Amino acid sequence: MAVKPQEEKKMYFRFPKFIRRMMPTMLWKVDSDDSVYLTFDDGPTPKITEQILDILDNYGAKATFFCLGNNAELYPELVESIVERGHAIGNHSYNHTRGWLTTTDEYMASAYRAGQFLPHTRLFRPPYGRIAIREVRRMRSQGWRVVMWNNISEDYDHKVSPQRCAQKVTRHIHPGNIIVFHDSVKASKNMLYALPKVLEAIKKRGLKCEIITSEL
């Protein structure tokens, strides 16, 4: 079933504070005064992920890649490059599983299946940012860390210009930020324009880009 554009947009709603308080076991931001945390979802994608790795190297920046299992299965060499170049891997389900259409068992099965193609990771980012409390609990009980975000570029939205995409992130840069980009074909035009601008802004603020670990 194809996702209608309108439906997709709605899925990335901003989480009100009360929801964050209800779900304290999810990581929304990191307690840090000198670092921010770049994340890339939906890859790895040939040509695009490699460009990101080069841009990150130019800035001495580290990031966390929340990979889809089916892409990792197709492009294991990209997963290897990500790790070799000092970045972290997270799990983003096997095929962008929709949390609201699956049972908890099916949801977990998609994460396990993705895990077969990813180096050991206990970081999980829910596709569309949608995950039921029972799934968060199940993941938590099995030692997973569910990683959300507090700064999203909306690089996937074709109504957002590349310039606006960069501004969306740079105007909210604070220590401890978890920033979302996508290493997908769909997002690449906005993302590849915005990423260097964001890295410049982070550098100007004197902040480092570090990987997310399950201890954070």
Residues near Zn ion (CB under 5 A):
41-42, 127
The DSSP H or E segment spanning 151 is: strand 151-152
What b/e sequence results for 120-150 when a residue is b if at least 16 CB atoms lie within 10 Å of its CB, and e otherwise? ebebbbbbbbebeeebbebbeeeebbbbbbb
Q: Which residues contact 214 (CB under 8 A, 6 or more apart)?
A: 122, 123, 143, 144, 145
Q: Where are the alpha helices (DSSP H) in the chain?
A: 5-11, 17-22, 48-58, 69-74, 76-84, 104-115, 133-141, 162-170, 188-204
* Amino acid of residue 128: Y
Which of 156, 204, 165, 169 is CA-nearest to residue 38?
Answer: 169
> Is the separation of the CB atoms in 79 and 44 below 8 Å?
yes
Rounding to the nearest 10 degrees, give the CA dihedral for residues 176, 127, 171, 88. Answer: 40
Please count the other Cβ atoms lying within 10 Å of the Cβ belonging to residue 65.
29
